[in-house]
Amino acid sequence: MSVARSERRQRGELSPVLVIDDESDIRELIELTLVRMGLPTECVGSVGAARAALEQGDFSLCLTDMRLPDGEGLEIVRYIGEHHPRTPVAVITAFGSTENAVAALKAGAFDYLAKPIGLEQLRTLVKSALCLPQGGESGPELPGLIGDSPSMQQVRETIGKLARSQAPIYLSGESGSGKELAARLIHARSARSAAPFVPVNCGAIPENLMESEFFGYRKGAFTGADADREGFFQAAAGGTLFLDEVADLPLAMQVKLLRAIQEKKVRRVGSVVEEGVDVRIVCATHRNLRECVERGSFRQDLYYRLNVIELRMPPLRERVEDIPPLVEAILRRLCGDAPPRLEPEALKALQFYAFPGNVRELENILERATALCSGNRIAVGDLRLEADDAGGDELGRGSETLDDYLNRVERQALLEALQKTEGNRTAAARLLGISFRSLRYRLDRLGIE
């Protein structure tokens, strides 16, 4: 078998798809569909047989059931992640078993299919998976993510991983920290890059128009509906739907959004039938979604459905060393190839500023300064920083609370130690003079992967 696969690779042919399911009729259905798509297929019925097949050669894709006679599909997901990271794996779950689907996505699965399997959804999943950039290849540079601080290096690395998945992503972080930019970069690096990226500000849509805006409507559905109209889901077909400020969605709309995400189907206003949709959901908010759940303003089931993988965008005050390159890039964008220069005292003032508005505020400050400065130099006075906000103390704590300041310093120390030890946690703990258990606790508390 491995010789045949080697010959296929030499001829430039695609490696086979591995199908793992203990039900012969499902294996036959999937195999027939894949063969009609021109894909070589190998079918097995257990975890043991799947491991044996994976040891003999490479596969372009793996489809596995969650429940197998000798184990769980999650075992295969983890095994492939460790030994065959370039092979995307999708899981087949029982109808309504969203917990299994979320667990698989968190374990590294590319996507999931619910039983009974829809052939059109199967074809869409396979096409998306086989378009994935290979993990060993170096992808394009990520424009816009400026800075080499440890926290930004971690963000870049995480974006590269998230781009290879279809899992829903929750981008957390303060206003102006670059959440939409991160969402666009994930889309641009993914198999969906040729399809639309549709950003939606959930807080800017009137409540009575939300359903029609999200799902579209049929002609005559209500007064003024003179023609059929697509919603955000249809507009993002095959691509990414970015839901900004998702915490602003009213509870009634949260229920409908949850169903659309779980079933991958939507029903237009005025229609009696549902239509399948193929979109990846990326959401963001500056609020703490977990606290919204505890207060009852956000549904817990939707929270767990959206927060499969979280990417935290660090505030600018946690990456002060990135301010000089950010300033240079922003000034070049504002003024072209001959931008004004910041005097050393002006740059120091920016590094001591707390930046409650993050990078977006830095852009506004510099745009104002370029209009006010004399000649080709920007002085401290041109920045117009409020005395209470800029450099509140020698530590550069600005308007931060003590807890925020201590967390920032601790996060920076942990990231720098992990960077110096190339991700080796044991060595990082030794470098910091703490136990491995203490390091693991601190990483979990601060949300560092």
Q: Residues 94-117: pLDDT tens digits?
A: 755 667 777 787 778 888 888 888
- Residues 172 and 62 occupy one common structural domain: no
Q: How far apart are CA 257 and CA 252, in angstroms?
A: 9
Q: Which structural domain range is residue 335 located in?
A: 316-383
Q: Is the pLDDT of residue 334 over 90?
A: no
Tell whether 137 is covered by a domain: no
Bridge partners (DSSP) of residue 89 are 62
- Residues 227 and 182 occupy one common structural domain: yes
Q: Work out the average pLDDT over 226-230.
A: 89
Of the chain, the percentage scoring pLDDT greater than 90 comes to 35
Question: Which one of 351, 383, 415 terminates a domain?
Answer: 383
- Residues 191 and 98 occupy one common structural domain: no
- Residues 201 and 307 occupy one common structural domain: yes
Report how many domains make up the chain: 4
Which of 172-176, 272-276, 381-385, 445-449 shows the lowest mean pLDDT across its residues? 445-449
Question: Which one of 383, 414, 431 terminates a domain?
Answer: 383
pLDDT, tens digit, 9 for 90 and up, residues 299-322: 999 998 898 889 999 999 889 999
pLDDT of residue 58: 85
- Residues 206 and 299 occupy one common structural domain: yes
Angle at 4 between CA 3 and CA 8, to 5 degrees: 115
Question: Which one of 98, 130, 162 terminates a domain?
Answer: 130
- Residues 160 and 45 occupy one common structural domain: no
- Residues 303 and 323 occupy one common structural domain: no
pLDDT, tens digit, 9 for 90 and up, residues 418-439: 888 888 888 888 888 888 888 8
- Residues 71 and 212 occupy one common structural domain: no
Tell whether 61 is covered by a domain: yes
CA 36, distance to chain mean position in Å, is 33
Tell whether 135 is covered by a domain: no
CATH number where 277 lies: 3.40.50.300
Give the confidence band of 187 by pLDDT, cuts at 50, 70, 90: very high
- Residues 422 and 366 occupy one common structural domain: no
pLDDT, tens digit, 9 for 90 and up, residues 157-167: 888 888 888 88
Q: What is the pTM of this model?
A: 0.68
Tell whether 389 is covered by a domain: no
Instruction: Write the Ramachandran bin of 378: left for phi over 0, alpha for psi from -120 to 50, otherwise beta.
Output: beta
Tell me the residue length of the chain: 449
CATH number where 434 lies: 1.10.10
CATH number where 75 lies: 3.40.50.2300
Where b means 16+ CB within 10 Å and e means fewer, 72-91 reads: bbbbbbbbbeeebeebbbbb
- Residues 100 and 208 occupy one common structural domain: no
- List of E strands, 245-360: 265-266, 275-276, 280-285, 309-312, 341-342
Tell whether 360 is covered by a domain: yes
Tell whether 394 is covered by a domain: no
Running DSSP on this structure, what letter comes out for residue 350? Answer: H
pLDDT of residue 133: 58
pLDDT, tens digit, 9 for 90 and up, residues 247-276: 999 999 999 999 999 888 999 999 989 998
Tell whether 17 is covered by a domain: yes
- Residues 219 and 256 occupy one common structural domain: yes
Q: 146 near 326, Cβ under 8 Å?
A: yes
Three-state secondary structure call for residue 243? strand
Tell whether 302 is covered by a domain: yes
CA 248, distance to chain mean position in Å, is 20
Give the confidence band of 199 by pLDDT, cuts at 50, 70, 90: very high
Q: How far apart are CA 209 and CA 128, in angstroms?
A: 32
Return mean pLDDT, the chain.
Answer: 84
CATH number where 369 lies: 1.10.8.60
Which of 228-237, 292-301, 421-430 shows the lowest mean pLDDT across its residues? 421-430
- Residues 59 and 122 occupy one common structural domain: yes
Three-state secondary structure call for residue 8? helix
